[in-house]
């Protein structure tokens, strides 16, 4: 929804395609009357026949609670979805963008993660439907680029947050904020020492658009994320402070294959896109907290 807004503001005509598995129609309700915006309920695991110049393929549930709900469908969304979107791009000669993920690096043995790192992924674990699905999607994009000279752009996205997140998506930012606002115990997995790097949605979208606007010789993959690393416990403490919450922190066992460290090396994004995140974590968290506070009140 944030990407649709940004592209509309730049004068584009937008066809937004969603099956609403994790998306919410409320997030685009304010765009429905816009003369250059239309929306179609459609699942990317089925072919789509439309006329477009550019495709942003963001389709796939991205939080463990959602992608593990129906792991077969998750893999289909990444793999069949990529085949269908690439087929569409080939038919209409469109430029196509893939929202890939830092999860292609798995539980990394290299830190921070560069685009040349090939990852440490468990192909038969409970997260594999997402991790390996996205890895296969990247394979397909590069094969279409080599075989059909398709114009591709691949971004590897690191943890992102901001308003309009799903309140029950199981991600740390939304989890912690909802728990803190309701003064419920904040759940940390493991001892809370695992690290993440959080990028605000507007910074992420700026990176995507800059990548999409590069010359055809730039394919990616390019890491798009915030290199400012913090522990999950530090995030919980920041949210407690910003919400004035009375919540206590409780600890639960770490899920299988959960990455212990996550931080992007964004040297390539700086060089190719002249991009780096601008929004301070505290400012981004304040915006996100205000959104969830209103959502709970409504």
Q: Residues with catalytic annotation? A: 130
Could you give the maximum distance between any two Cα atoms of the chain, in Å? 58
CB 249 within 8 A of CB 233: yes
- Give the pair of three-digit tokens for residue 58: 């963001």
Neighbour tally for 205: CB within 10 Å: 20
Question: What angle in degrees, to the nearest 10, is found between the helix axes of 281-297 and 232-243?
Answer: 60
CB 223 within 8 A of CB 269: yes
Exposure string over 17-55, b if 16+ CB within 10 A, otherwise e = bbbebbbeeebbeebeeeeebebeebbbbeebeeebeeb
- Give the pair of three-digit tokens for residue 46: 């089925």
SS (H, E, C) 185-196: CEEEECCCCCEE
Strand segments (E) across the chain: 14-18, 37-41, 54-57, 95-101, 152-157, 160-161, 186-189, 195-197, 199-200, 222-224, 229-231, 249-252
């Amino acid at each position: 929804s944030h990407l649709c807004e940004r592209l509309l503001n730049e004068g584009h005509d937008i066809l937004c395609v969603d099956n609403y598995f994790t998306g919410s129609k409320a997030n685009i309700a304010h765009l429905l009357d816009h003369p250059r915006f239309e929306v179609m309920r459609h699942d990317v695991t089925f072919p789509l026949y439309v006329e477009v110049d550019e495709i942003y393929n963001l389709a796939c549930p991205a939080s463990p609670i959602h992608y593990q709900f129906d792991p077969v469908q998750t893999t289909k969304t990444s793999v069949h979805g990529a085949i269908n979107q690439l087929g569409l791009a080939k038919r209409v000669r469109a430029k196509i963008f893939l929202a890939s993920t830092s999860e292609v690096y798995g539980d990394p043995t290299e830190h921070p993660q560069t685009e040349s790192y090939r990852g440490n992924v468990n192909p038969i674990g409970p997260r594999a439907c997402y991790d390996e699905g996205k890895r296969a999607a990247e394979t397909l994009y590069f094969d279409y680029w080599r075989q059909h000279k398709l114009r591709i752009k691949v971004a590897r996205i690191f943890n992102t947050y901001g308003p309009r997140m799903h309140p029950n998506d199981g991600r740390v930012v939304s989890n912690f904020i909802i728990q803190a606002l309701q003064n419920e115990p904040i759940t940390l997995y493991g001892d809370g020492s695992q690290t993440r790097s959080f990028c605000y949605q507007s910074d992420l979208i700026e990176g995507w658009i800059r990548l999409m606007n590069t010359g055809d010789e730039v394919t990616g993959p390019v890491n798009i994320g915030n290199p400012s690393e913090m522990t999950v416990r530090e995030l919980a403490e920041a949210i407690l402070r910003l919400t004035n919450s009375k919540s206590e922190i409780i600890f639960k066992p770490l899920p299988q294959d959960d990455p212990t460290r996550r931080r992007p090396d964004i040297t390539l994004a700086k060089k190719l896109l002249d991009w780096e995140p601008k929004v301070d974590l505290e400012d981004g968290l304040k915006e996100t907290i205000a959104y969830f506070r209103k959502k709970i009140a409504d």
